[in-house]
Amino acid sequence: MRNHPFMNAQRKRGVLYVVATPLGNLDDLSQRVCDTLARVRLIGAEDTRRTGRLLSHLGIEVPMVSYHEHSEASRLDKLLETLDSGEDVALVSDAGTPLVSDPGYELVREALARGLAVVPIPGPSAVTAALSVAGLPTDRFLFAGFPPAKAAARRAFLGELGGQTCTLVLFESCHRIVDCIADLAGQFGKERRAFLGREMTKLHEEYLAGTLEELGERLRSGQIPARGEFVVVVAGATASGEGDAEQEARRLLAVLVEELPVSRAARVAAKLSGLPRARCFQLAEGLRRGDTT
């Protein structure tokens, strides 16, 4: 293994390694990941059972501590104490690159605040993997993580993103993917181009492109199984501003129809967006029914 400036034997404090692990296919493991995990004193893992299976596959025996968004403060303290004592620590998530829609930033933030070295060990990332095969612009993109689980909050969340001109990347679970795509079509328009990565790098991986309407229909019919983990990539809004008024009306109505009668919600949205009241009324009725037209 090539010498690293932080591997000096004279150093007094440990290094925190942020280690990317495979999304599914273990052949994506790099030798540097294997060497790092074997050498550290302690591993902070989102799920110790899942990471334990990876370590067992590699023949590595290193103590682990469960570290996730609901962990007690004592778990963070244990990792920091190990680093302060001069021992190295690795941080891993269930799959892919830690801190990308995963817990861990508090550990990194505190390590940096203490003047500790934090070193990334790059590797798989579901975000960049999906972008690389989506066939959509990648010069600018926005990663928005997981949309809210509840319908009203999800529609409002997506409505805030509808005017973005850069490519959008979202994560979604199999339990909500059908509703998520329907809401995307409702907020962004049925003809917006999109891409789905399902079970990426795993045995049943699948990559699908089309309009939001096409992908929604294939999900509802079962042609695309609503199983596994999904990465959703959506084309940005047209930079010309075409459809901005309707997009703004959709964003407003996603919130208004939850609080007001359809006619009043349409009237308010028309005043704020500049879209004709009749069209706002049509959109509001569709949202109330759960339609995406």
Closest by CA position to 247, among listed 151, 182, 164? 164
pLDDT, tens only, 178-213:
999 999 998 888 889 999 999 999 999 999 999 999
28 contact partners, CB below 8 Å, separation of at least 6: 22, 123, 124, 201
- The β-bridge partners of 64 are 43
Q: In terms of Cα–Cα distance, which of 231, 203, 206 is closest to 131?
A: 231
d(CA 35, CA 181): 41
Give the C-alpha distances (Å, rounded to integers) separating 204 from 24, 28, 128, 195, 201.
10, 16, 19, 17, 8
Q: 19 and 36 in contact (C-beta within 8 Å)?
A: yes
* pLDDT of 9: 45
Tens digit of each residue's pLDDT (9 = 90 or more) over 247-293: 788 889 989 998 899 999 999 998 888 888 888 888 888 888 776 55
The 10s digit of each residue's pLDDT in 119-161 is: 999 999 999 999 999 999 999 999 999 999 999 899 889 988 8
